[in-house]
């Protein structure tokens, strides 16, 4: 099944009275603060439904992103969800999804969302370590993440968890423990975001005062790779790594592990580790054939062919013929002795 066609609707900072240290919501979504009205919701859906689609048979989701949806007044929630109802009723849209905070989910809210066509809720969990949550100014606890996941699952809603890497007060050990606890909750999907220093956020001030040091890009890539493996081991999909690049975001990143293709860097690094492990285990006395999926060629090579250069530097490609096959399944690494 192709991935759903997602129609995003940004409700920047609406409904959120908090101020997490890392957040300047306007920079992250690239949308000025303001009230998204029902007419705009309807027009956005109508316009995007009219666009030609790569996979016309893919299901269509309308996604309310960028704020804490269930923190809005009930009347506003009804209005916004109501604007999408005619499209659900006509079958042009199959599901609604939204993002919110864990402490804004109760069994009643979960039931209300379900009745209104919401089938996926992404929770901004960020961490499952209470100390880190306090240091980041999140204003909710790890226990509230756990109960929110349970309430949503009980209502028949799929759950996504958004987690951040490199938060104030976090370390590699506490982050990995948090990642493992998040995986134990059995979310349907996960998004990983490295913590960036965004201008206008309280974190920017701490950074200026020398009280916060973001992860370097290589450390963030390595940590994201370890998270990816934790979730992959449980069959949990990591649907995104790194913030969606945008000109507005790039202008406001003061420091931190920002890269427009962060997820690709992580996948490429993971692939390199796998290939290196396979090649390291072979007998160097015999020629070998390394067979990879054609569709994996770019993540195998990495940016500027960096992975291949590293393998060459390690002497691991000596006597190895590399073949890319269109018929081989993605993510598979087949090493056989003998060439051609
Ligand atoms: S809860 Fe979300 S929207 Fe509100 S300040 Fe924190 S990150 Fe920003």
138 CA distance to ligand 1 centroid (A)? Answer: 8
Between CA 213 and CA 205 the distance in angstroms is 12
The answer to whether 257 touches 194, Cβ cutoff 8 Å, is yes
- Six token digits for residue 329: 């399944």
Q: Which helix (H) or strand (E) holds 334?
A: strand 333-337
Between CA 113 and CA 77 the distance in angstroms is 9
24 CA distance to ligand 1 centroid (A)? Answer: 8
The answer to whether 264 touches 238, Cβ cutoff 8 Å, is no
Q: Report the nearest atom of ligand 1 relative to the CA of 13.
A: 3
The closest residue, in CA terms, to atom 8 on ligand 1 is: 23
pLDDT at position 32, please?
46
For a ligand 1 pocket test, name from 18, 101, 145 the mutation site with the most ligand atoms within 8 angstroms of its C-beta: 18
Fold held by 5-260: TIM Barrel (3.20.20)
The answer to whether 111 touches 95, Cβ cutoff 8 Å, is no
Q: Which of 251, 197, 255, 203 is nearest to 30 (CA)?
A: 251
101 lines ligand 1 (CB under 6 A): yes
Cβ-based neighbours of 82, under 8 Å, separated by 6 or more = 38, 116
19 lines ligand 1 (CB under 6 A): yes
Q: Which of 61, 72, 101 is nearest to 11 (CA)?
A: 72
The answer to whether 225 touches 231, Cβ cutoff 8 Å, is no
Between CA 76 and CA 71 the distance in angstroms is 10
Cβ-based neighbours of 49, under 8 Å, separated by 6 or more = 7, 60, 87, 92, 93
200 lines ligand 1 (CB under 6 A): no
Between CA 253 and CA 205 the distance in angstroms is 13
Between CA 242 and CA 262 the distance in angstroms is 5
**Model pTM score:** 0.90
The closest residue, in CA terms, to atom 6 on ligand 1 is: 20
For the chain, the structural domain boundaries read 5-260, 282-337
191 lines ligand 1 (CB under 6 A): no
151 φ, ψ to 5°? -60, -45
Q: Report the nearest atom of ligand 1 relative to the CA of 28.
A: 8
Between CA 76 and CA 79 the distance in angstroms is 5
The radius of gyration computed from the CA coordinates of the chain, to the nearest angstrom, equals: 22
pLDDT tens-digit profile, the chain (340 residues) = 778 999 999 886 655 678 899 988 555 444 444 578 899 999 999 999 998 888 888 999 999 987 789 999 999 999 999 999 999 999 999 999 999 999 999 999 999 999 999 999 999 999 999 999 999 999 999 999 999 999 999 999 999 999 999 999 999 999 999 999 999 999 999 999 999 999 999 999 999 999 999 999 999 999 999 999 999 999 999 999 999 888 888 999 999 999 999 999 999 999 999 999 999 999 888 899 999 999 999 999 999 999 999 999 999 999 999 999 999 998 899 999 875 5
Between CA 317 and CA 284 the distance in angstroms is 9
18 lines ligand 1 (CB under 6 A): yes
Q: Which of 136, 137, 138, 159 is nearest to 147 (CA)?
A: 159
66 CA distance to ligand 1 centroid (A)? Answer: 9
CA angle 73, 43, 83 (to 5 degrees): 35
pLDDT at position 242, please?
96
Between CA 212 and CA 4 the distance in angstroms is 38
pLDDT at position 26, please?
56
137 lines ligand 1 (CB under 6 A): no
Between CA 103 and CA 111 the distance in angstroms is 15
From residue 6, alpha-carbon distances to 45, 58, 121, 145, 316 in Å are 10, 10, 14, 25, 42
Q: What is the DSSP letter of 216?
A: P
Residues comprising the chain, all counted: 340
243 lines ligand 1 (CB under 6 A): no
Q: What is the DSSP letter of 155?
A: T
Burial tier of 253 (Cβ tally within 10 Å: 0-12, 13-18, 19+): middle
132 CA distance to ligand 1 centroid (A)? Answer: 15
Between CA 126 and CA 17 the distance in angstroms is 17
pLDDT at position 12, please?
66
19 CA distance to ligand 1 centroid (A)? Answer: 6
């Amino acid at each position: 099944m192709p991935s759903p066609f997602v129609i995003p609707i940004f409700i920047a900072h609406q409904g959120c009275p908090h101020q997490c240290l890392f957040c300047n919501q306007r920079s992250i979504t690239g949308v000025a603060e303001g009230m998204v009205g029902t007419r705009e919701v309807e027009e956005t859906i109508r316009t995007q439904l009219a666009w030609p689609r790569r996979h016309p048979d893919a299901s269509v989701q309308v996604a309310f992103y960028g704020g804490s949806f269930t923190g809005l007044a009930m009347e506003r929630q009804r209005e916004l969800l109501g604007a999408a109802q005619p499209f659900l009723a006509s079958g042009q849209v199959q599901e609604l999804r939204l993002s919110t905070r864990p402490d804004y989910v109760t069994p009643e809210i979960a039931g209300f969302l379900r009745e209104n066509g919401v089938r996926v809720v992404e929770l901004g969990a960020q961490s499952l370590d209470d100390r880190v949550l306090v240091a980041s100014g999140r204003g909710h606890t790890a226990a509230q993440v756990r109960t929110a996941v349970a309430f949503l699952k009980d209502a028949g809603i799929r759950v996504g968890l958004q987690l951040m890497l490199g938060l104030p007060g976090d370390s590699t050990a506490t982050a990995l423990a948090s990642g493992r606890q998040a995986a134990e909750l059995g979310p349907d999907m996960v998004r990983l975001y490295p913590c960036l220093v965004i201008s206008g956020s309280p974190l920017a001030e701490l950074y200026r005062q020398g009280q916060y040091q973001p992860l370097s890009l290589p450390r963030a890539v390595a940590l994201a790779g370890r998270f990816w493996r934790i979730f992959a081991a449980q069959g949990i999909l990591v649907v995104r790594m790194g913030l969606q690049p945008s000109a507005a975001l790039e202008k406001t990143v003061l420091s931190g592990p920002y890269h427009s293709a962060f997820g690709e860097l992580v996948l490429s690094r993971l692939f390199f580790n796998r290939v290196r492990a396979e090649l390291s285990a072979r007998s160097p006395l015999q020629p070998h054939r390394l067979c990879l999926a054609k569709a994996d060629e770019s993540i195998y090579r990495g940016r500027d062919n960096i992975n291949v250069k590293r393998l060459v530097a390690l002497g691991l490609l000596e006597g190895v013929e590399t073949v890319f096959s269109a018929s081989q399944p993605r993510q598979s690494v087949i090493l056989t002795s003998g060439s051609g």
